[in-house]
Amino acid sequence: MDPIVSIKALSKRYANGFEALKSVTLDIEKGEILALLGPNGAGKTTLISTICGIVTPSEGSVTVAGHDIVTDYRKTRAMIGLVPQELTTDAFESVFDTVSFTRGLFGKKRDDAVVERVLKSLSLWDKKDNKIMMLSGGMKRRVLIAKALAHEPEILFLDEPTAGVDMELRKDMWEVVRDLRRTGVTIILTTHYIEEAEEIADRIGVINNGELLLVEEKQALMQKMGQKQLTLDLQAPLDALPDSLMDYALELGDGGTSLTYTYDTQAKRTGITALLGDLSAAGISFRDLRTSQSSLEEIFVSLVKDSA
Amino acid sequence: MNFQAVKAIYLFEMARTWRTIWQSIVSPVVSTSLYFVVFGSAIGSRIETVEGVSYGAFIVPGLIMLTLLTQSISNASFGIYFPKFTGTIFEILSAPVSFFEVVIGYVGAAATKALMIGLIILLTATLFVDIRIAHPLWMVGFLVLTAISFSLLGFIIGIWADSFEKLQLVPLLVVTPLVFLGGAFYSISMLPEAWQSVALANPVVYLISGFRWSFFEVSDVPVGISLAMVGLFLALCLGVIWWIFKTGYQLKK
């Protein structure tokens, strides 16, 4: 299946020379939830703003369902809904009116039934006549999502949907995102919360300094995360590993005083029992042992550090 | 053409008018009535006629123009500046609309509101003085063209401004003086000769003169020239707006 969004060698240089995006290439599949993970200032917002038409690209191209975002902007933008990071809403309009306005702006005929359905799905229906300025921050965020959905887009961009939102609301928001996916909407969200990406994404892209460092299925990343290390502190230093232990791919460290064994926690057999048996058969005794696990956070931090 | 978007922007802007009805409609009526009391009755009673027209009636076209210009500019400039200020402009920029459609929506609403106020002032004026309109079609034509041209100017100012202060700068420091010096309350021919030539450099002179001609058939400059000047100004504003949208000036990064 062709990707619904295809980004090719996209770069953005601002007038002051700052390179916000450096030749980003990425395909987004229809119906998936893609999380773009990266620290503040990594280029996440620039990337989605470019796809949505707010930022003009310097080089490269983006197509949405095969249409170019510059030459065919009417088609591409009509398919996209954008929820910005900042709570930028009107103040004096009612919730219903502001959502209905966006529907019109995106070229759709006024349809109160659609607006009603969107508001109800976001638990905003009882607030439909409230002025937006009277709403709490969490409710305003929902209004922004409702506006983005008012024209029934196929692709939804959520820029930091849970930044500065408390845990309960964040879980609510994840539920909203999952519900949307069930209706077939492709969702791209940016976040700097790793657990958020872990919780709801199908794929995770890591972005830093304007570069896309990696895009992987969450499961594959989880597997990396599932790797564990068993470190044994030896009683006496070893010069070399005995042949009987060669199959374990052990690492000898700290001047021969420690052995590190890497294993997969998700595998049926971790091989720990066998290793310990073979160690004692080889006459190697140890005085301490510990295990450690690389988290997504560590993977992320090391990726980001390497790219800096 | 995304008609739905034009309609949405237009109705959104008009809803703002109804929501702020006191500020939008009532206050210009009150301030115009004050002009009539001061200039029309108090001072006007000392001036018999200007070019054969009673002074009270003579100032009506000028007063309407004064309000039309300031209202067109402030409506349109505020209309586009406010989304920039709050950040909701992102929605316009990410919508499947051309800049041309955005302009029609904002400028159309600003011009509509200014026209409504202009007509209300005309009606208010009939309470104070006897008014006869010699060329109603020309009058409406001048009203509409002026409202559109100055709403376009207001739109440009709203795009250019990056603070509320700048938003007020042009209307207060440029437009109001030009209107007052443009013959709103007197005929250019009443000025010393040297100043008459200076006055001809003021674009508002042509607007007021042409508009006044449609009422009383008296004018400072031939009506054809007035019309040409309005057309020129309209073309100039359209040119600037075309440039703004081509370059994304103050809108797109």
Check whether residue A182 and residue A64 sit in a common domain: yes
Q: Average pLDDT of A271-288?
A: 87
Please indicate, yes or no, if residue A299 is contained in any of the structural domains. Answer: no
CB–CB of B8 and A104 under 8 A? Answer: yes
**Cα–Cα distance, B10 to B108 (Å, whole number):** 7
The whole-number pLDDT of residue A154 equals: 95
What total number of domains does chain A contain? 2
Check whether residue A206 and residue A241 sit in a common domain: no
Check whether residue A266 and residue A252 sit in a common domain: yes
**Cα–Cα distance, A136 to B188 (Å, whole number):** 58
The whole-number pLDDT of residue A87 equals: 85
Q: Which of A223, A257, A283 is the last residue of a domain?
A: A223
Check whether residue A158 and residue A264 sit in a common domain: no
- What is the DSSP code (8-state) at residue A127? G
Q: B16 and B111 in contact (C-beta within 8 Å)?
A: no
Residues on chain B touching A103 (C-beta within 8 angstroms) = 8
Please indicate, yes or no, if residue A306 is contained in any of the structural domains. Answer: no
Q: What is the mean pLDDT of chain A?
A: 89
pLDDT band at A294 (very low <50, low <70, confident <90, very high): low
CB–CB of B90 and A78 under 8 A? Answer: no
pLDDT band at A268 (very low <50, low <70, confident <90, very high): confident
Check whether residue A269 and residue A140 sit in a common domain: no
Å between A36 CA and nearest CA of chain B: 20
Please indicate, yes or no, if residue A271 is contained in any of the structural domains. Answer: yes
Å between A14 CA and nearest CA of chain B: 7
Q: What is the CATH number of the domain that holds A171?
A: 3.40.50.300
Give residues 147 to 186 of A whose Cβ lies within 8 Å of B.
147
**What would the pLDDT profile of A52-95 be if each residue is shown by its tens digit?**
999 999 999 999 999 999 999 999 999 999 999 988 888 889 99
**Cα–Cα distance, A156 to A181 (Å, whole number):** 10
pLDDT, one tens digit for every residue, chain B (253 residues): 899 999 999 999 999 888 888 877 788 788 888 888 887 777 777 877 888 888 888 888 998 998 899 899 999 999 999 999 999 999 999 999 998 899 999 999 999 999 999 998 898 888 888 888 999 999 999 999 999 999 999 999 999 999 999 999 888 888 888 888 888 888 888 888 888 888 888 889 998 999 999 999 988 889 999 999 999 999 999 999 999 888 878 777 7
The whole-number pLDDT of residue B196 equals: 86
pLDDT at A48 over 90: yes
B84 or A194, which is more confident? B84
CA angle centred on B127, ends B121 and B129, rounded to 5°: 95
Count the neighbouring beta carbons within 10 Å of the beta carbon of residue B164.
12
Q: Closest Cα to residue A79, out of A10, A30, A143, A144?
A: A30
Please indicate, yes or no, if residue A307 is contained in any of the structural domains. Answer: no
pLDDT band at A295 (very low <50, low <70, confident <90, very high): low
- What is the DSSP code (8-state) at residue A34? E
Check whether residue A177 and residue A205 sit in a common domain: yes
Check whether residue A88 and residue A213 sit in a common domain: yes
State what percent of residues in chain A have pLDDT above 70: 96
CB–CB of B90 and A54 under 8 A? Answer: yes
The whole-number pLDDT of residue A307 equals: 66
- Residue environment code for B80-102, b if the CB has 16+ CB neighbours within 10 A, otherwise e: bbbbbbeebbbbbbbbbbbbebb
A48 phi, psi to nearest 5 deg:
-75, -30
pLDDT at A296 over 70: no
Please indicate, yes or no, if residue A53 is contained in any of the structural domains. Answer: yes
CB–CB of A106 and B96 under 8 A? Answer: yes
Å between A38 CA and nearest CA of chain B: 22
**Cα–Cα distance, B129 to B93 (Å, whole number):** 48
pLDDT band at A225 (very low <50, low <70, confident <90, very high): low
Check whether residue A213 and residue A231 sit in a common domain: no
Check whether residue A209 and residue A192 sit in a common domain: yes
Check whether residue A217 and residue A261 sit in a common domain: no
Check whether residue A42 and residue A104 sit in a common domain: yes
Select the residue of A88, A90, A107 nearest B2 (Cβ to Cβ): A107
Q: Which of A223, A251, A285 is the last residue of a domain?
A: A223
Check whether residue A120 and residue A204 sit in a common domain: yes
Please indicate, yes or no, if residue A68 is contained in any of the structural domains. Answer: yes
The whole-number pLDDT of residue B200 equals: 87
- Residue environment code for A118-142, b if the CB has 16+ CB neighbours within 10 A, otherwise e: bbebbebeebbeeebeebeebbbbb
Residues on chain B touching A108 (C-beta within 8 angstroms) = 4
The whole-number pLDDT of residue B188 equals: 86
**Cα–Cα distance, B90 to B88 (Å, whole number):** 5
Containing structural domain, residue A233: 227-294
CB–CB of B9 and A105 under 8 A? Answer: yes
Å between A223 CA and nearest CA of chain B: 38
A196-210, A288-302, B95-109, range with greatest mean pLDDT: B95-109
Tokens 């909407």 correspond to: A185
pLDDT at A308 over 80: no
Q: Which of A195, A223, A251 is the last residue of a domain?
A: A223
**A16 at the B interface (CB within 8 A)?**
no
If DSSP states are collapsed to H, E and C, what string results for chain B?
A: CCHHHHHHHHHHHHHHHHHCHHHHHHHHHHHHHHHHHHHHHHHHHHCCEECCEEHHHHHHHHHHHHHHHHHHHHHHHHHHHHHHHHCCHHHHHCCCCCHHHHHHHHHHHHHHHHHHHHHHHHHHHHHHCCCCCCCHHHHHHHHHHHHHHHHHHHHHHHHHCCCHHHHHHHHHHHHHHHHHHCCCCCCHHHCCHHHHHHHCCCHHHHHHHHHHHHHHCCCCCCHHHHHHHHHHHHHHHHHHHHHHHHHCCCCCC
Please indicate, yes or no, if residue A142 is contained in any of the structural domains. Answer: yes
Residues on chain B touching A109 (C-beta within 8 angstroms) = 4
Chain pair A-B, CB pairs under 8 angstroms: 79
A190-199, A227-236, B113-122, B191-200, range with greatest mean pLDDT: B113-122
CB–CB of A91 and B86 under 8 A? Answer: yes
pLDDT band at A226 (very low <50, low <70, confident <90, very high): low
Q: A30 and A18 in contact (C-beta within 8 Å)?
A: no
**Cα–Cα distance, A149 to A121 (Å, whole number):** 11
Q: What is the CATH number of the domain that holds A233?
A: 3.30.70
Q: Closest Cα to residue A229, out of A265, A277, A268, A266?
A: A265
pLDDT at A288 over 80: yes
Best of B13, B20, B94 to disrupt the A interface (most A CBs within 10 Å) is: B94
Please indicate, yes or no, if residue A191 is contained in any of the structural domains. Answer: yes
